[in-house]
Structure 1
């Protein structure tokens, strides 16, 4: 247990230097524990949260961050320990009780009614909303609240017409307008463009400087180092360390988070000179309309060459997923042509793309890459079960399938006691690593990797990026879809930027500029214009 202690307790109890001596914490967690069948989600967690402070919770997926905040907001009840608010022990029977006490949470997946306006969403469930208020009155009150907290909104706009950043502002305003003094945000920048991230940072700093407290749940080190005043690291549900941000460094936090140091690379240079750069994937005036009839991709043309990593940047929901599905054969374009190594692929499905040497790591692995109810072996061989040695000539060779699975698990660095274990029994990170290893074996020409870092801890992300660089160095192509500009700029030879389904530009490595790319992701020019 000593590995979790360090000097953390001294730091956890330290008030911000900007507060007068004797200022008590707004909220204290004292010895909090939460158990589920066979799982210790949290154990002996003690943390103080002060007014006028942004306090980050850092940890891998499964480290207990969200569970701990669900205890704080009343979604779960602690099995051990106590919540102390303003010096008094409290128990919340649900989120409404927590918000009445001044604690509000903005979840990673927004909880807004998409067909309602901004003003209507702000009024929903608010005890101060009178029964017979006109739309104009709701809008007027929403605008007044927005002005009070310095958040720019459009009261009359339907939620489904807003960008992710605008929706997040509505969520934050909904919590603050109900009197929250402690604001909890779960992975708040996951679906924001760099410009929207900057706007969020400014709003959180204003709230902090006005005496509010912020708890920021994140696994992004750059985000924490830029925004937080204090950081507490959770590992295996326990406190591994707690620090003032200006007194620590990313290497220390990584070691506490995963138990070992990990090199944080900002570039992945080639191991050998690039060979022939033949075009392996080409799109010509390709567009796409979804099942609801909405045009998700406007006509675009691009080519991807052997031995390169071709990055696709964009805020989530701007056509990247549709483009990746088209490149892998899962979706048929509305118009235009798709070529693989010069061969027209119109009307061909994912099986034909696989045979042509295109591997695919999709954004939604559970629904597009895996069969969760089937065993690990079935999932490992599902893309090769008709080929030698696993299958062929109307036969399936179980022993060969098991050998193939063991080899794949070794490559993916995934440990499974029994390969017949249902796939849903593996962690999200292990599922992702297995899919990446499987699709890498298929990708003789190109690998389409859509948000491959999702669900991975820092150590696994490092291994994943090394694998993509190795595929590039072997002369194959990689299409990397990501909203993480640092990841794209570290790995890519070229980056295409999508916004609202339109191809904004394609930039060579020599022209990479974070501010310019971020502005284009938001549909603005480099000077901030629309």
Structure 2
């Protein structure tokens, strides 16, 4: 037997890992090796066992059986603190942050710098700022976590791991809440970490990201390690087929839209955020029955505040929101729901699900007090269970039981549960904010078809997404938002990513087209 050199010994080896929850095997004899200085991607459907495997490596779970080796030495990881001491850090998909603490306090929690008996927050903040500057993870160390955006919370999670000087870094769906620009920046960060000799494990459903960032990719299917590929020499189509076990379409087939009456009319809307900054500034937009209007824009340009104002989660300072002729401006979320609105929120943890409640109850959370789910004020479990079982089957939500807490589901299955609940409701308007965040390609294909079907049933669809491919694929028309204003509205069939990208910086439709024409002329010359 040839002895391996230090360079050849993998940073991490996981051999024959099994993890059972009762009779269900989330991991079923998985093998994985990750080299020093490489980015190794894990790819699989929602619920395939990727996060479970990484929770074992990070000490959050204990394997039922199997072995773990760190640079050739067998190790036991009893908890996250032990993992941190071994140099293993995980950037979690579901943020492990305390809202009432500042960014800096969250980052140092459990790894505090002290001066004598006292916390040395000043020195810690200097170290954090050095990391912020080095990796371009812009976030204010003094800000409360409750006051920062989802994207900024993701950066805090990354900084927590970097602050602990981990040599093995696990990124669990780190780009799910980032804009395209932030994703490219993160890929550069991961490549820099790998170039420093660190082992980087990336869990993502975005196939193009894998091909851009990863050196190797291991496909996990139904809890088993299926196959490992060279990421640079495998097509996205091949990866998709290996992951789901069938051919997948990346475009949604839909009929020509036949718009009807006005369903949503937004008139001169102005909305401020928690810091009293105007984020939606005199915005007007109309969506008709039987059409999908996509909203494209760089994160932070008012998309979140627009969605929250429509759905009653934020107060409007001026303007009107009209739903099928009825003024719903500043009405409560319940009244807006009853008026005929379905809402897939961008943050499923804060606004989509009650994590400690069972999946079954989450699926009727807006209508539990109505028939057939309640009778004379008493919940009717058979009706609730029947509804849950139907949606779980229809939307392929992978669970062990409908009585399982929503918080115990994988992120992708949580998202599918929210989408299932909202699209199954009898509504006039569907507000879909980042509807496929965290979903695998098979689930994305299904959800896109469902949104197209909702349009064909005569519903008005407002689609807000940072994924330009999703916006272009699904939308009939695209409204570009910049600095809280609609810069222009274009036909989805007659625009390009380049045109949308220029408009997202604030250029009008005509100016964006002139810029593109000039660029083409310069290339020819």
User: TM-score, normalised to structure 1's length?
Assistant: 0.76
Give the aligned partner of residue 210 of structure 1.
Answer: 196
Aligned equivalents of 1:520, 1:428: Cα separation in 2: 33
Query: Within 5 A, what are the aligned runs for 1:352-371?
Result: 357-363=340-346
Query: Within 5 A, what are the aligned runs for 1:379-528?
Result: 379=364, 382=367, 409=391, 412=394, 428=414, 431-432=417-418, 434-439=420-425, 442-443=426-427, 445-454=428-437, 456-497=439-480, 502-503=484-485, 505-508=487-490, 509=492, 512-514=495-497
Aligned equivalents of 1:178, 1:368: Cα separation in 2: 31
Shift of 1:359: 4.0
Aligned equivalents of 1:258, 1:322: Cα separation in 2: 36
Aligned equivalents of 2:269, 2:53: Cα separation in 1: 46
Give the match's secondary structure for 1:192.
coil
Count of residue pairs brought into register by the alignment: 498
Structure 2: runs of 5 or more not aligned = 516-525
Shift of 1:288: 4.1
Query: Within 5 A, what are the aligned runs for 1:189-268?
Result: 189-265=175-251, 268=253
Q: 1:71 aligns with which of 36, 39, 56?
A: 56
Give the match's secondary structure for 1:205.
helix
Match status 1:300 vs 2:272: no
Give the aligned partner of residue 29 of structure 2.
Answer: 44
Match status 1:100 vs 2:82: no
Query: Within 5 A, what are the aligned runs for 1:332-351?
Result: 333-346=316-329
Aligned equivalents of 1:420, 1:87: Cα separation in 2: 42
Alignment check: 8 A CA contact 2:309 2:330 kept: no
Aligned equivalents of 2:105, 2:350: Cα separation in 1: 33
Alignment check: 8 A CA contact 1:315 1:483 kept: yes
Q: Using a 3 Å threshold, how does the CA distance of structure 1 residues 375 and 103 change in structure 2: closer, same or farther?
A: closer
Q: Using a 3 Å threshold, how does the CA distance of structure 1 residues 139 and 434 change in structure 2: closer, same or farther?
A: closer
User: TM-score, normalised to structure 2's length?
Assistant: 0.76
Aligned equivalents of 2:140, 2:314: Cα separation in 1: 37
Aligned equivalents of 1:290, 1:355: Cα separation in 2: 25
Alignment check: 8 A CA contact 1:309 1:491 kept: yes
Deviation string, structure 1 residues 133-154 (Cα, Å, up to 9, x no partner): 876644544455566x554657
Aligned equivalents of 2:141, 2:359: Cα separation in 1: 47
Aligned equivalents of 1:451, 1:127: Cα separation in 2: 36
Q: Over aligned residue pairs, what C-alpha RMSD do you find?
A: 4.7
Question: 315-324 vs 197-206, which deviates more?
Answer: 315-324
Shift of 1:111: 4.1
Give the match's secondary structure for 2:250.
coil
Q: Using a 3 Å threshold, how does the CA distance of structure 1 residues 170 and 521 change in structure 2: closer, same or farther?
A: farther
Give the aligned partner of residue 312 of structure 1.
Answer: 295
Give the aligned partner of residue 175 of structure 1.
Answer: 161
Shift of 1:303: 1.4
Alignment check: 8 A CA contact 2:15 2:68 kept: yes
Structure 1: runs of 5 or more not aligned = 1-14
Give the match's secondary structure for 1:61.
coil
Give the match's secondary structure for 1:461.
helix
Alignment check: 8 A CA contact 2:108 2:163 kept: no
Alignment check: 8 A CA contact 2:263 2:324 kept: yes
Q: Using a 3 Å threshold, how does the CA distance of structure 1 residues 351 and 404 change in structure 2: closer, same or farther?
A: farther
Give the aligned partner of residue 255 of structure 2.
Answer: 271
